[in-house]
Chain A
């Protein structure tokens, strides 16, 4: 036992070298274990995260074409070119609208839903399950199903519109409408998740607060705006920022619903990741696409900083 060895140190100076070695081993035992345990994870982490992130920054400074052997250093030229690139500007605009619109619409629907479900208990689990269903269904098959719903000629949505006398809408073939079609579908998909998060937040609000407000004669609406909402603020803020961050990587549903043989290539709904993908893997402009990817990182980083700020001022206010 190592602990016995350390105890006898003082009394046996003659065997000091062996004991000192053992003592060092004992002292290093824990850190050694830590490094050995972390080694595989950190090695993997280095190879699939750190190196590519660094390599991406470097790539963005080169004119790096997959098939051309000459890859000259061009400095910030890729970035400068980006801001004159119509496709990039369109992608940036669409992605921004998409992110904020899905987040805002989801919140507007999920918050009242959660408030209502938190008050009534009998049917609440049933509704929670139903509203959560889209969250766990895989995205691609559901995008295919929605594409069929949005179909110009035979889609149910246009049929429903025709019932109330409205003209058919080219939901997915006109990019400016397709943006909203994708937003709608995504709200459908995410609503249940936000609802569950808000439900947890509501459950964590101590009942005394709302009861006290009722005793003081507050109406339901007053109670919601003056008591529940301020107490829900931290979660609300957290959900808003994290979901807008993750919305910036939108790709799968856009790819399935608006890219394809039915729609002309020019009609595809441009979002950042799709633009990065086409630049890098169709036109093989890896350097240029990397500059675009760096821009995506910057946006996400900016939003994260805003989140940290907001959360910090929020907790500062509470104390």
Chain B
């Protein structure tokens, strides 16, 4: 863009656009900031009209109260554990299946891959009832394995890895390894995996997000509070303490802050990877 040759009108437009952009940015962060300041207000200030922005007598009572009322530490640890297990599993299955579909020829390849793709469209919520009945039958309701089961693989991850491997891994390299006597598993681990770092990271971010955000499935499958993830823990806590806004905000802050820190640390990578995965469809 050529700078310096702007008419006054263009300048005004430019300034207006900037003002709008800034106002928008404020709207984006305001809910989080409002949540944060509210979490430090004593009950009397929360039920204040007109509401004041800064807490006059800031207190951490909401945090101690929230942790006494519900095992948020446990919820958080569960969320991390579920998300890590699911992410590891999704990465492995996506890499293996993506490599096999992308680089090998074998009977039924097209059919199997088509099947994976075709059913990827069906939303989870549309088949959660029969899946629930299946888990009742094998007595996996209210178990850790029952909660993570549907999130252990991701059709979209397989698709992404197939796209990546078939274009980014040279067949000659695999052939060379074979001539040197390498087995297929070795090739997968030592040739294909090292060349797929970026794509795997993208799949990992997606899988982690998906597993972290699960709500309706644990709502059905987890009955004991000790199995709740953060999202379900907060939801049930919200129903039980709907009048105690301070505690609710404190619990919410606790669950948002770690994600924000991770995001701000790896901001570039996360944004780019999400754009990449978003457009590969």
| Residues in A lying within 8 Å of B, measured CB to CB | 1, 29-31, 33-35, 37-38, 40-42, 44-45, 47-53, 55-56, 59, 109, 113, 116, 119-120, 127-142, 144-149, 151, 153-154, 156, 159, 162, 188, 191-193, 196-197, 199-201, 235, 238-239, 242, 245-246, 248-249, 251-252, 255-256, 260-262, 273, 276-277, 280-281, 286, 289-290, 293-294, 296-297, 300-301, 304
Interface secondary structure of B, over-half rule: helix
Measured between beta carbons, the chain A residues less than 8 angstroms from B34 are 145, 148-149, 156
Inter-subunit contact A128/B271 (CB<8 Å) = yes
Q: Which parts of B56-98 form the interface with A (CB within 8 Å)?
A: 93, 96-97
Other-chain residue from B29, B149, B234 in contact with A141 (beta carbon distance below 8 A): B234
Known: A34-B100, A156-B51, A301-B121. A44 touches B106 (CB 8 A): no
Inter-subunit contact A141/B184 (CB<8 Å) = no
**Interface residue count on the B side (C-beta < 8 Å):** 92
Known: A145-B31, A249-B123, A293-B129. A138 touches B96 (CB 8 A): no
Other-chain residue from A55, A138, A277 in contact with B255 (beta carbon distance below 8 A): A138
Measured between beta carbons, the chain A residues less than 8 angstroms from B130 are 51-53, 55-56, 59, 290
Measured between beta carbons, the chain B residues less than 8 angstroms from A151 are 245
Assess whether B40 is interfacial by the CB under 8 Å rule.
no
Known: A140-B215, A144-B248. A293 touches B127 (CB 8 A): yes
Assess whether B168 is interfacial by the CB under 8 Å rule.
no
Measured between beta carbons, the chain B residues less than 8 angstroms from A135 are 274
Other-chain residue from A44, A50, A120, A249 in contact with B153 (beta carbon distance below 8 A): A44
| Residues in B lying within 8 Å of A, measured CB to CB | 1, 17, 21, 24-25, 27-29, 31-32, 34-35, 38, 46-51, 93, 96-97, 99-100, 104-107, 109, 112, 115-116, 119, 121-134, 149-150, 152-153, 155, 158, 181, 184-185, 188, 209, 212-213, 215-216, 219-220, 230-231, 234-235, 238-239, 242, 245, 248-249, 251-253, 255-256, 259-260, 263-264, 267, 270-271, 274-276, 278-279, 281
Inter-subunit contact B129/A45 (CB<8 Å) = no
Other-chain residue from B32, B249, B274 in contact with A137 (beta carbon distance below 8 A): B32
Inter-subunit contact B260/A137 (CB<8 Å) = yes
Measured between beta carbons, the chain A residues less than 8 angstroms from B24 are 109, 113, 131
Known: A116-B17, A148-B249. A252 touches B28 (CB 8 A): no
Other-chain residue from A109, A136, A238, A276 in contact with B263 (beta carbon distance below 8 A): A136
Measured between beta carbons, the chain A residues less than 8 angstroms from B267 are 129, 132
Inter-subunit contact A296/B249 (CB<8 Å) = no
Inter-subunit contact B275/A196 (CB<8 Å) = yes
Measured between beta carbons, the chain A residues less than 8 angstroms from B188 are 37
Measured between beta carbons, the chain B residues less than 8 angstroms from A53 are 119, 122, 126-127, 130
Known: A33-B184, A139-B213, A142-B256. A41 touches B153 (CB 8 A): yes
Question: Can you name 8 A-B pairs with beta carbons within 8 Å?
Answer: A129-B264, A144-B35, A148-B35, A148-B248, A154-B245, A196-B271, A293-B128, A300-B123
Known: A196-B275, A249-B123. A51 touches B134 (CB 8 A): yes
**B125: min CB distance to chain A, Å:** 5
Inter-subunit contact A197/B278 (CB<8 Å) = yes
Other-chain residue from A29, A149, A296 in contact with B125 (beta carbon distance below 8 A): A296
Alpha-carbon distance between A127 and B275 when the two chains are bound, in angstroms = 16
Look across to chain A and name the residue whose beta carbon is closest to the beta carbon of B234: A140
Alpha-carbon distance between A153 and B93 when the two chains are bound, in angstroms = 50
Q: Which of B127, B155, B260, B274 has the most CB of A within 10 A?
A: B127
Q: A144-B249, A280-B129 are in contact. List 5 more A-B contacts (CB 8 A).
A: A49-B122, A49-B127, A196-B278, A256-B235, A293-B126
